[in-house]
Amino acid sequence: MLDYPSMLPAIVFVPFAAAMLALLIGRYTGRHTGLLMVLAALTCFGMSTTLFLNTHQAGQAPALFTTTWFSVGTFQIDLRLLGDAFGLFFAMLVSGIGTLVGIYSLSYIPTDLPNSRLGRYYAALITFMGAMLGVALADNLMLLYVFWEITTIASFMLIGFWYDEASAKRGANMAMQVTVTGGLGLLAGVVLIGVAAGTFTLSELQQQTGAWSRLLASPLANIALILVFLGAFTKSAQAPFHFWLPNAMVAPTPVSTYLHAATMVKAGIFLVGRMLPIFGGTALWSPVLITVGLITFVLGAYQAMRETDLKAILARTTLSMLGMIMLVYGLNASEQDALQILSHATYKGALFLVAGIVEHATHTRDIRELGGLRRKMPITFIICAAAALSMAGVPPFFGFLAKEALYHELLHSEVLHAAGVGQWLVVAGSVLANAFMFAVSFKILLGVFCGPETEKGHHAHEAGPGLWIPPAVLALAATGLGVIGVTSVTEHLVQAISSDPHSHVHISMNPVHWSIGPVVLTFITIALGVGFYMRRTAVEAAQARLDVLPSAPRVWERMMEHIAGFATFYAGRWQNGSLHWYIAATMAFFIGVSAYALVHGGLSLANATVDLTELPWYAIALGVLTIGAMTAVVRANTRMGGAIALGATGFLVSLMFVVYRSPDILLTQILIETVSTIFILLILFFMPSFQPEQMSITRKMINLGISAGVGIIVFLMVLLSMSDGIRATRTLKEDYLSRALDGAGGANAVNVIIVDFRAIDTTGEICVLVIVGLAVFALLRSRRKLA
C-alpha cells in the first residue's frame, strides 16, 4: 500500500502510464481501450478520495510530495505536488467525471472506426486526464505550466477527432491558437513571478511569506498578474477570447462534456483560485475579474438564447457560467468556488451527455427538428429534467443553492459596496444572465422532450444503460446535493472542498434559513426567465436586429491570416531555397560578429606566441597537401570533382590530429568525412548542373570576399587561442578532467561532458536531430507520394 504522500505522484502518473499503454495496445484492443480509461480514472478517483478523507478527518496538514526535477548549478525546480482540499476536490472532479466519460465513450464512439484510431482517441483522453490531475495537484508554477500546456495539446487532438472534416480542423486550430497564446502569456507570467519572488512554489507564495512580499513589492507584479490572467481567460474562454469554445463543439460529445464543460475550461478558473491568496488584495484583481466575468456571464447567456444547435446552446451557457465563477473570484468569495464549480459540472456534464444521447437516437442536434421525445426516451427525459432544473436554479436542485449563494454574495460583498452604483450594475447583469439561463433551460427541456413529435423523432428509441448511466449519476448528484441541502451536509461539504475552507459559506435548502434579499432576486429572475421563454420568438427577433458587431471568430481568423501572410513574406524573402545565399549570409554574419568581438571584445593578439619548434616536417608536408587539395576544390569543374577534393581535404585534416595526438577528434573527423562523402554522393544527382563560368564577376568577388574573410577570421581566432590571456584559462579544463572519473565514473572527459555534465544541453541537441530526421522523412516521402 502506498503511503499518503506517494499517492500524489501516483494520481498524476498512473494516467500517463495508462495513456502510453493505450497507444501501444490500442491497435489490438480498439474500442475496448476505453476500459483502460475507466480503470485509470477509477484508480485516481479512489486515491484522491482516500487522500481527501484522510486529510479532512484527521485534520492533518495536506500531503506533500517533493523531489528535485531540474537542478542546474544553484537553480532548481522541484517536482512538487500538494494534496490540499481544493486541489483534491479538483482531482476528484476530474477523475470522477473521467470515469463516467470513459463508460459513456464505450457505447458512444462509433465502432466502425479503425482500431488504431480508437486507441489514439483514448490515449489522448487519458493523457488529458493526467495533465488535468497534474494541474490540480502541482505546487510548483513551472510544473503547473507544463501540465497546463499538455491539456492544450490533448484538447487539440480531441477536438480534431473527426479530422476529415474542415469544421473539425478549424475548431481544433482555433482552440489551439487561442489557448497557446494565453499559455505563452502564462509562462511569461510564471517566469516573472519566479524572478520577482525568487521561488516558483505556489504554497509558499500563498502563505504570504517573505517571497510573497518581495513579489508584491516588485514592479513586475502587475505585469505578471495580467499575463497570468491572459492564460486563465483564454483557457476558460472569457470574453473576448470566448469564441473558441463554441467552435470546439465539433469534438465528439464525450470530449465536449469532459474537456469543454466539466474540467478543462475550469482550469483557468482553478488557476485564478490558486492566485487569489497571492494577488487577491492587489488593485487590479477585483476590477478586471468583475468586468471580464460579468461581460462573459451576460454575453454567454444572451447568445445561448439564439442558438438552435443543442451543443452550441450548452457551450454558450458554459461560457456564461465560467464568467460567473470569475465574477465570484473577483468578489474574493473563494469560499463558494467549489460550490459553483461542482454545481455547474454536475448539471452541465449531464446535459452534454444527454445531448449526445439525443443525437445518437435522432441523428440531429437541431432543436427545431426535435420534440416530443419524452414518450420514447423516458429515462433520458427524467435525467434531462433534473439537470435542466438545476441549471435553471429551481429548488430543490443543487443549482438553486449555487444561485442563492451568488445572490447573497452580490448583496453583501464588501468589494461591491465600495463600488457604489456599480454594485447595482453587477446585480442587474447577474439577474439578467440568470433569467436567460432559466429560459434556455426550459427551451432545451421542453423543446426536445415535449410538444408534438417530429419527423426525426419517429425512429428514436431509448439509449442503452452504457449511455444513460453516466448522465444519470451526474443528474442524481445535482438533485441529491440539493435535496440534502435542507440539512447542513451540503454546506459543510462545499465549504470543506473550497479554496478557502476557513470562511463560512451560507447555503440551505430549508426555507427557514433563506434571507430576504436573494429570495427577492430569485423571484425576479424566475419571472423574467418565464417572460423570456414565453416571448422567445420576440426575444430572438430582437437579438437578430441587435446583431451588428463582427463575429469574434472571423476577427480572430483574419488576424491569423495576416500573421500567416507576414510569415510567408518573410520566409519568401530570406528562405528562398538558394543554398549559396544561406551559406553566404551565415558566413557573413559569422565574420561580422567575430570581427566585432576581436576589435571591441577586449581581446588582444599582442602576446600571442607562435612556437614553431613543435612543428615536425611531416606536419608541414600535411599542410602543403591540404592547401593543394583545397585548391583542387576551388578549381574543380564538376560537382563530383569538387566533392572528391573536399573529402581529401577532410582526411588530410584528420591526419593532422594524428600528428597532434588527439584521437577523439580524429575518430570523429574521419567518420564525419566518410558520412559526408556518402551524403554528397546521394544528393549530387539532384543538384542543378554546375556552371562556374556563368557566374557574374560581382558574384565571384562577393564569394572571394566572404571566403577570404572567413579564412582571416579563423586564422586570427587560432592565433588568439595561443595568446596569454586565453592560454591561462585552464581552470575549466582541469575542473572537468578532475571531476570526470570521480563524479561520473568515466576517464574520457569529452564523453563525460556530453552525456553527464552537460546532459541537458545534449538532450536539446538530440531532440533537434530526431526532428530533422523525421522532417526529412515526412517531407521527402509525402512529396514522392504526391508525384
State in angstroms the smallest separation of the CB of 758 from other proteins. 9
In the complex, minimum distance from the CB of residue 775 to other proteins, in angstroms, rounded to a whole number: 10
Closest distance to other proteins from the beta carbon of 667 (Å): 5
Q: Does a cis peptide bond (omega within 30 degrees of 0) precede residue 240?
A: yes
Which residue type sits at 90?
F
Count Cβ atoms within 10 A of the Cβ of residue 549 and give its class: 0-12 exposed, 13-18 middle, 19 or more buried: exposed
Nearest distance in Å: CB 24, other proteins: 12
How many angstroms separate the CA atoms of 46 and 23, rounded? 24
Tell me the H-state helices in 33-140: 33-58, 85-108, 115-137
Specify which residues 65 forms β-bridges with: 81
Tell me how many helices (H) and strands (E) the chain has. Answer: 33, 2
The C-alpha cell at 400 is 438553486
| Nearby residues of 40 by Cβ (< 8 Å), 6 or more positions away | 14, 15, 18, 98, 126, 129
- C-alpha 580/C-alpha 691 separation (Å) is 14
Residue closer to other proteins, measured from CB, 598 or 665: 665
Closer by beta carbon to other proteins, 418 or else 747? 747
Minimum distance of other proteins from residue 755's CB (angstroms): 4
In the complex with other proteins, which residue's Cβ is closer, 621 or 775? Answer: 775
Footprint on this chain of other proteins (rule: CB under 8 A): 9, 67-71, 76, 79, 663-664, 666-668, 671-672, 674-675, 678-679, 681-683, 685-686, 744-748, 750-752, 754-756, 759-760, 762-763, 766-767, 769-770, 772-774, 776-777, 780-781, 784
Closest distance of CB 745 from other proteins, Å: 4
Nearest-approach distance from CB 181 to other proteins, in angstroms: 27
Partnered with residue 81 across adjacent β-strands are 65, 138
Selection from 127, 119, 55 nearest residue 87 by Cα: 55
How far apart (Å, rounded) are the C-alpha atoms in residues 532 and 445? 15
Cα–Cα distances in angstroms (integers) from residue 386 to residues 374, 393, 473, 478, 664, in the given order: 14, 11, 11, 7, 74
Nearer to other proteins, 514 or 657 (CB): 657
Please tell me the number of Cα atoms within 13 Å of 216 on its side-chain side. Answer: 17
Distance CA 407, CA 424 (A): 12
Cβ closer to other proteins: 23 or 327? 23
C-beta of 120 vs 443, nearer to other proteins: 120
At its nearest, how many Å lie between other proteins and the CB of residue 76? 7
* Nearest distance from C-beta of residue 773 to other proteins, angstroms: 3
> In DSSP terms, which residues pair with 70 in a beta bridge?
77
**Is 282 or 662 the residue whose CB approaches other proteins more closely?**
662
Of the pair 571, 667, the CB lying nearest other proteins is at: 667
Handedness of CA 391, 392, 397, 401 (dihedral sign): positive
CB of 136 to other proteins, least distance (A): 20
**In contact, 498 and 338? CB cutoff 8 Å:** yes
Residue 115 or residue 662: which is nearer to other proteins going by CB? Answer: 662
Shortest reach from residue 12's CB to other proteins, in Å: 11
Contacts of 142 (CB under 8 A, 6+ apart): 77, 190, 194, 200
User: Shortest gap between Cβ of 224 and other proteins (angstroms)?
Assistant: 25
DSSP 550: P
Please say which residue, 143 or 322, places its beta carbon nearer to other proteins: 143
Helical H segments across 258-377, by residue range: 265-279, 285-304, 310-330, 337-362
CA nearest neighbour of 90 among 36, 144, 156, 37: 144
Q: For residues 71 and 510, which CB has a smaller minimum distance to other proteins in the complex? A: 71
Cα(653)–Cα(672) distance, integer angstroms = 12
Closest to other proteins by CB, 535 vs 781, is 781
If the CB atoms of residues 678 and 712 are measured against other proteins, the closer one turns out to be: 678
Q: Quick one: 589 or 777, whose CB is closer to other proteins?
A: 777
Q: How far is the CB of 487 from other proteins (least distance, A)?
A: 45
**How far is CA 593 from each of CA 589, 598, 599, rounded to the nearest angstrom?**
6, 9, 10
Q: Residue 422 burial by CB count (10 A; 0-12/13-18/19+): exposed, middle or buried?
A: middle
SS3 for 312?
helix
**Closest to 357 (Cα-Cα) out of 321, 383, 388, 392:** 383
Q: How far lies 633's CA from each of 646, 648, 681, 695, in Å?
A: 6, 9, 16, 17
Closest approach of other proteins to the CB of residue 132, in Å = 20
Which residue's CB is nearer to other proteins, number 604 or number 738? 738
Q: How far is the CB of 454 from other proteins (least distance, A)?
A: 52
Closer Cβ to other proteins, 353 or 753, answer by number: 753
Q: How far apart are CA 167 and CA 250, in angstroms?
A: 7
Taking the complex as a whole, how short is the minimal distance between the CB of residue 636 and other proteins, in angstroms?
A: 20
DSSP annotation of 374: T
